[in-house]
């Protein structure tokens, strides 16, 4: 009899725990997914665009972020360089970017191959880089 009560209590606790752990997942699913443009705008909040440049020094890039179907953002120090390449509709943040350089700089004439991370690194297309627009924080 005591074993049945203990088993029933354990089952109740597991069901309650499962319900609680599932609650955040349900809430996350109901949150609307941001478009690429909305993600980029959020990333650039509090920054203003500077004069576009044709090249950036790749060794100074500390982080690269792919914004789905929109842009590639390169971080150099506190500056974000936004590149809106040709074929931007092929950009997927799950892809691996493969860039072949002819020097130390990444320039607006370079292309970037896209490789699908989930499909055994299969080639999934390419984008052609354009000018890099620097975005710096606005001083308050």
> Whole-model pTM above 0.85?
no
Q: Which of 106, 104, 103 is nearest to 129 (CA)?
A: 106
pLDDT at 140: 75
| Residue 60: both structure tokens together | 């100074």
CA 98 to chain centre: 16
Query: DSSP assignment of 78-140, as one string?
Result: TEEEEE--BTGGG--TTEEEEE--SSSEEETT-EEEEEETTTTTEEEEEEE--PEEEEEEPP-
Q: Which residue has the tokens 């443009």?
A: 37
d(CA 114, CA 125): 5
| Residue 62: both structure tokens together | 């500390």
pLDDT, tens digit only, all 140 positions of the chain: 443 443 344 334 434 444 444 445 444 556 788 999 999 999 999 999 999 999 999 999 999 999 999 999 999 999 999 999 999 999 999 889 999 888 899 999 999 999 988 876 688 899 999 999 999 999 87
pLDDT at 118: 83
pLDDT at 114: 94
């Amino acid at each position: 009899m005591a074993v049945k009560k203990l088993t029933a209590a354990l089952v109740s606790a597991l069901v309650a725990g499962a319900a609680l752990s599932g609650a955040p997942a349900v809430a996350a699913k109901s949150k609307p997914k941001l478009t690429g443009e909305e993600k980029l705008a959020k990333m650039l909040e509090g920054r203003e665009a500077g004069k576009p440049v044709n090249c950036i020094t790749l060794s100074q890039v500390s982080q690269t972020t792919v914004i789905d179907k929109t842009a590639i953002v390169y971080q150099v120090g506190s500056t974000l360089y936004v590149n809106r390449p040709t074929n931007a509709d092929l950009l997927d943040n799950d892809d691996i970017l493969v860039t072949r350089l002819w020097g130390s700089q990444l320039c607006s004439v370079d292309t970037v191959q896209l490789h699908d991370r989930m499909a055994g690194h299969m080639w999934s297309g390419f984008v052609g880089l354009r000018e890099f627009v620097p975005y710096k924080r606005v001083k308050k």
